[in-house]
Amino acid sequence: MPVAPVSAAPRQPSVSASTHSSPSATPLLPPKDVRQEVETEIKSLESGDQVIVAKAAAAIVMLATLQDAVPYLSAAIPHLVPLLHDSSLSVHVRGNACAAITSIMVADPSLYIAAAKTPTLATGLVHFLKGDGERPVDESARLNAAAAAAISVLAQGEEGLGPLREAEADVAIISSLGTATDDMVKEGMVDAVCAFASHVNMRGHLFQKGAVDQLARVLQGASTEVCVRALLALGMLCGSSLEAQVQLASVDGAVETLITLMKSNDHDIKTISRDLFRALTQNEEAKPLVEHGLRNSASV
């Protein structure tokens, strides 16, 4: 039985550049100056000075909000993508570069296509997401959140989905869900799962890679924002898959969590959790697991 709502697209991720390296104020430029400003910032990306590069990437984030800048922003992409691959650069440079790429992709469909066609973007984002294992937790969290936001945008179209699959970005996201502790990182990663799952032909693949198991675990004790996103992803993955429903019911504590969420004051959380729970109760193989969860819930 389908689980509703399953068609809700993930919300666009917020895109923010580092406050340590962004200009204190970026005025809205008159149209005649926009092209020159974009070209200036692109030139600054090649300066070799990390402070200047970080500020230039932050400025591009702001410029991408201007409609008049759209015709000129594609030229920045080949200069930004290599920054994702360079682990020697500061968190501010790489984080701002990733935020700039995300801003460019959401600025206009033509820019999304240009980014999706950049050969090393998907691999750069996966490299960015995995990190080097040597950065402090707070820096790694910021980089992970930035990478997840970019992946969630890139995965929304078929043009970006192919390169991401080749780079195994979906696998990296699912794996990272199991270790993420920061709520902002979790939100971004679950958004990315939602973006992948919005492609019907990806749902079985995501299930096979462990997405249902990871999402069910993330759901337990999650913040409201993470909870809504995880439920949306589970709704898409479990809505018409009996096997995925059984997997969800099999995760320790998942049924009990759904029972609790059905009493939530948040309308979306209550509605989606009820739909998921109803699907589980109508699945003959999942019924014994649901009954076990009901007994556990009643004994608490």
Cβ-based neighbours of 249, under 8 Å, separated by 6 or more: 255, 280, 283, 286, 289, 290, 293
Low-confidence residues of the chain, pLDDT below 50? 1-14, 19-26
Distances (CA, A) of 115 to 72, 75, 82, 100, 226: 13, 10, 13, 11, 28
Cβ-based neighbours of 86, under 8 Å, separated by 6 or more: 94
Report the chain's C-alpha Rg in angstroms: 21
Cβ-based neighbours of 299, under 8 Å, separated by 6 or more: none
Distances (CA, A) of 234 to 99, 134, 150, 199, 225: 27, 33, 21, 14, 14
Domain ranges across the chain? 1-198, 225-300
Using CA atoms, how far apart are residues 131 and 178, in angstroms rounded to an integer?
A: 15
**pTM listed for this prediction:** 0.85
Counts of helices then strands in the chain (DSSP H, E): 18, 0
Is residue 97 within 8 A of residue 83, CB to CB? The reply is yes
Q: Given this model, what pLDDT does residue 17 score?
A: 59
What architecture is the 1-198 domain classified under in CATH? Alpha Horseshoe (1.25)
pLDDT digits (tens, 9 = 90+) for 168-202: 999 999 998 888 888 889 999 999 999 999 999 99
Q: Is 113 exposed, middle or buried (0-12, 13-18, 19+ CB in 10 A)?
A: middle
